[in-house]
């Protein structure tokens, strides 16, 4: 994993916290309950390190001739809506999901899409989370499939692979061979104002439809992305 993709956490214990309180405020540890102070952490976290939501600003500085939206400029209502899981676990590593394949997967999952639906692409590659191979495995979503979703009112779409496009090294090989733009990062730079959720996990636990998705990103001012805790809300059918 590249260094810029690492998340580091420094933990301060209750004992260390007691020392901080004494240094800052002069209160000795024998005046603290159980002689303990506060515990806290310092987190070094990039906006794209973990499960995160990409804003249009990540893809290009302008979309349709206007400044692309940053994560804090996006409508909150985009990030809560009906979820649809499209199954592409049989799609080989390195393949691009076409528009017709996406249409077929959506038809099988839910019949038809509605504006505001949140489409989650299940590849099964979340099995590689935490391993170096994670960056290099999985299919990706083509620009035409991304357009197909966007044209049906989908503004937030996600995947359980490392990225929305095919693995970076494969895109790079094709772009260098063909020597033209529009190959590397083709779905990211498809000219659309939409959001991707990357590095999801656990989509196998969800039904194809009939649930809500909450995927609110942290409001990092001016950022191209932000970490998000993505949660599926399933209706209780009374049998649990």
Q: How close are the terminal C-alpha atoms of the chain, in Å?
A: 40
Closest CA to 53 of 201, 198, 229: 198
Using DSSP, state whether 145 is helix, strand or coil: helix
> pLDDT band for position 240 (50/70/90)?
very low
Using DSSP, state whether 62 is helix, strand or coil: strand
- Distance from C-alpha of 145 to C-alpha of 118, rounded to nearest angstrom: 14
Tokens 């949140």 sit on residue? 118
If you average pLDDT over every residue of the chain, what do you get? 95
> pLDDT band for position 105 (50/70/90)?
very high
pLDDT at 134 over 70: yes
- Distance from C-alpha of 214 to C-alpha of 169, rounded to nearest angstrom: 32
Cα dihedral 51, 149, 124, 131 sign: negative
Using DSSP, state whether 16 is helix, strand or coil: helix
What are the structural domains of the chain? 3-44 (no CATH), 52-234 (3.50.30.50)
Instruction: Please give the average per-residue pLDDT across 44-67, as a whole number.
Output: 96
Tokens 């990225």 sit on residue? 163
């Amino acid at each position: 994993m590249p260094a810029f993709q690492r998340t580091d956490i420094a933990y301060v214990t209750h004992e260390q916290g007691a020392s901080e309180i004494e240094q800052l405020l002069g209160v000795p540890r024998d005046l603290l309950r159980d002689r303990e102070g506060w515990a806290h952490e310092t987190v070094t976290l990039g906006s794209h390190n973990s499960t995160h939501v990409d804003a249009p600003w990540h893809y290009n500085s302008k979309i349709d001739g206007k400044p692309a939206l940053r994560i804090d400029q996006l409508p909150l209502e985009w990030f809560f809506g009906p979820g649809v899981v499209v199954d592409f676990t049989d799609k080989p590593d390195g393949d691009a999901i076409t528009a017709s394949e996406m249409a077929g997967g959506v038809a099988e999952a839910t019949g038809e899409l509605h504006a505001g639906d949140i489409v989650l692409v299940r590849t099964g590659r979340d099995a590689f989370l935490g391993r170096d191979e994670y960056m290099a495995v999985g299919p990706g979503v083509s620009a035409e499939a991304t357009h197909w979703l966007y044209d049906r009112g989908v503004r937030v779409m996600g995947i359980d692979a490392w990225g929305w496009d095919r693995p970076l090294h494969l895109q790079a090989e094709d772009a260098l061979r063909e020597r033209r733009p529009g190959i590397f990062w083709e779905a990211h730079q498809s000219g659309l104002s939409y959001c991707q959720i990357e590095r999801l996990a656990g989509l196998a636990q969800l039904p194809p439809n009939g649930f809500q998705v909450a995927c609110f990103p942290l409001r990092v001012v001016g950022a191209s992305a932000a970490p998000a805790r993505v949660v599926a809300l399933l209706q209780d059918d009374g049998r649990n």
